[in-house]
A and B are shown apart, each in its own frame.
Chain A
């Protein structure tokens, strides 16, 4: 009896060992960036199990910093948040571009990301997808709104919402006639601009309905009609447009703010091979197309066009004629000092009455 028990236990341990031995890919990413059907397809194709953790830029950096770059095999930060973070904390490892199928990418985007994530002669990321921040507007109540200034316009009293984070500061900077990105190198001038923006936002605070904290909260506020003018992402505006034709994404006349989300490999990643496999898998035209159709986020994949749902293309063409695309203000890599300054400004706005 006893022998049998020991044997059974041993067998159990062996099984557990086998289960442990299955390869896994630990992915740290944004909600929606790893759709279940693509995860299943990848697992079937490679036998590698994918474990997904959802996060955002700030938390991704905090998580990786806490472990000095361990615990995940692949992360997806925005391209402007990589270089300074890498310089300070060294949480990523350089990308081996020979392992990337570079013909899958839109060449200009790959080059731009390579350039923007360069630290000490090495680049740390490849692009995955892109999008813009702008205005989500209910045109029935706030037709003709085309400027970031709508967020401080008394006309929309009690119907305004934005996320109290970087984009609203940058957007308002452009609206007030500054070029925040040109001031990145000049701390003093940037500080003066922030003071001006702070004063405007505090003055206009009574007009604000709420500061949204996550995408769902924004969608719900606009959907219910409580908010008519909001700062938001283009894909959010397009999702709402499907339900209510009055609501749409509007690229501000000062230029929508363009971001590129990337793939970057943490410094102590365990399964680097799987990470490269996932990157090449996700950029394959049919997979990228499926992702874009589902999430309404354009990708950096070159040949995805034929695989993208025509409805998405319609959204894109409506919001982004060529002139608007040319006017997109792309985030350059942000210096660490400025982020601390912005943090204080945001705190003061939130605390003001």
Chain B
């Protein structure tokens, strides 16, 4: 067998996998999204724009995802900087493992962990009561702030890892030279470190944004009664209302609208997707 024959032999399973298990179902869903009980129509897509609850939920989800992404970036930059520049090489691996460790258990378990800590009869309230810091237990779960904190926590790793890999290539002497020339810390971050990290920031931000937007568990369990997330809307259409057509339309709208947001984000910061990917 010649080389190209071998090449195709090994490629076939991958192509079959992609086509049968990923492309075909999506085509099926795409067709579903244009159908109603009465036949072909754009009604499912029109519903999204005419029924305020649907697009308001999407706007809410998108805004919170953007806030979460920004917060994750703010939290991750110092962490990544410490790991790559300040810690000793032997400690570095250990720190990375510490970051990875929580991801060895499933998201569900991590979220339940937070719930045990934060609930009204939970660990934190008990501690504060014992220390006399609180007079009566406070409910810390079921509000938007807690939900965003949970989302930042679950997505931090996906920001830190790309940041670490770009910061490793940052030449220390640039920072040192800036110090010698009297630049302030803020100035160094603004003009040297962040511009250098741009590709890492962009790819990290895209991953985190998409993960948060598509998250289902954390908003549902930690956000409580006010946290209608767009993914839950899709789940409801499929499972509770038996309306697969509407659910499929929402799925594609989520895909299209989130891609738009990423595209706008890239434009605003003057980045190109090709550069980020490489």
Measured CB to CB, the residues of A under 8 A from B are: 58-59, 61-62, 65, 85, 88, 158, 165, 205, 208-211, 213, 224-226, 336, 339-340, 343-344, 346-348, 350-351, 353
Interface centre among B121, B220, B242 (most CB of A within 10 A): B242
Interface string of B239-264 (1 = CB under 8 A from A): 11111100000000000000000000
B228 touches A158 (CB 8 A): no
B228 touches A226 (CB 8 A): no
Residue from B120, B226, B240 in contact with A343 in the complex, judged by beta carbons closer than 8 Å: B240
Shortest CB distance B123–A (Å): 12
Residue from A61, A158, A347, A351 in contact with B242 in the complex, judged by beta carbons closer than 8 Å: A61
Collect the chain B residues with CB atoms within 8 Å of residue A347's CB.
53, 228, 233, 236
Shortest CB distance A263–B (Å): 22
A210 to B39, CA, bound (A): 40
A58 touches B53 (CB 8 A): no
Closest to A62 in B: B239
A224 to B119, CA, bound (A): 10
A351 to B238, CA, bound (A): 18
Q: Give 7 A-B contacts (CB < 8 Å), ordered by A residue.
A: A62-B238, A65-B242, A158-B139, A339-B240, A347-B53, A351-B53, A353-B226
Interface centre among A61, A62, A88, A336 (most CB of B within 10 A): A62
Residue from A158, A224, A340, A351 in contact with B241 in the complex, judged by beta carbons closer than 8 Å: A340
Collect the chain A residues with CB atoms within 8 Å of residue B242's CB.
61-62, 65, 85, 88, 336, 339-340
Known: A158-B139, A226-B120. 18 other contacts (CB 8 A): A58-B239, A61-B242, A62-B238, A85-B242, A165-B240, A210-B224, A226-B139, A340-B241, A340-B242, A343-B240, A346-B240, A347-B228, A348-B53, A350-B225, A350-B228, A350-B232, A351-B57, A351-B228
A339 to B241, CA, bound (A): 6
Interface centre among B57, B119, B121, B225 (most CB of A within 10 A): B225
Residue from A65, A208, A343, A344 in contact with B225 in the complex, judged by beta carbons closer than 8 Å: A208
Ranked nearest first, the 10 interchain pairs of A and B with the lowest CB-CB distance are A343-B241, A224-B121, A351-B228, A58-B239, A350-B228, A226-B120, A210-B224, A340-B241, A343-B240, A62-B239
A58 touches B228 (CB 8 A): no
Task: Give the secondary structure class of A's interface.
Answer: helix
A226 to B224, CA, bound (A): 14
Collect the chain B residues with CB atoms within 8 Å of residue A65's CB.
242, 244
A343 touches B236 (CB 8 A): yes
| B71 interface hit (Cβ, 8 Å) | no
Given contacts A225-B121, A347-B236, A351-B53, contact A209 B142 (CB under 8 A): yes
Residue from A210, A339, A353 in contact with B142 in the complex, judged by beta carbons closer than 8 Å: A210
A158 to B138, CA, bound (A): 11
A336 to B141, CA, bound (A): 36
Shortest CB distance B124–A (Å): 14
Collect the chain B residues with CB atoms within 8 Å of residue A346's CB.
236, 240
A344 to B236, CA, bound (A): 9
A209 to B120, CA, bound (A): 10
| B221 interface hit (Cβ, 8 Å) | yes
B233 touches A226 (CB 8 A): no
Shortest CB distance B29–A (Å): 12
Collect the chain B residues with CB atoms within 8 Å of residue A209's CB.
139, 142
Closest to B120 in A: A226
Shortest CB distance A133–B (Å): 17
A348 to B57, CA, bound (A): 10
A351 touches B56 (CB 8 A): yes
Collect the chain B residues with CB atoms within 8 Å of residue A351's CB.
53, 56-57, 226, 228
Collect the chain A residues with CB atoms within 8 Å of residue B237's CB.
343
Shortest CB distance A98–B (Å): 32
Collect the chain A residues with CB atoms within 8 Å of residue B233's CB.
347
A224 to B220, CA, bound (A): 21
Closest to B137 in A: A226
Collect the chain B residues with CB atoms within 8 Å of residue A353's CB.
226
Collect the chain B residues with CB atoms within 8 Å of residue A350's CB.
225-226, 228, 232
A58 to B243, CA, bound (A): 12
Shortest CB distance A320–B (Å): 30
Shortest CB distance A42–B (Å): 30
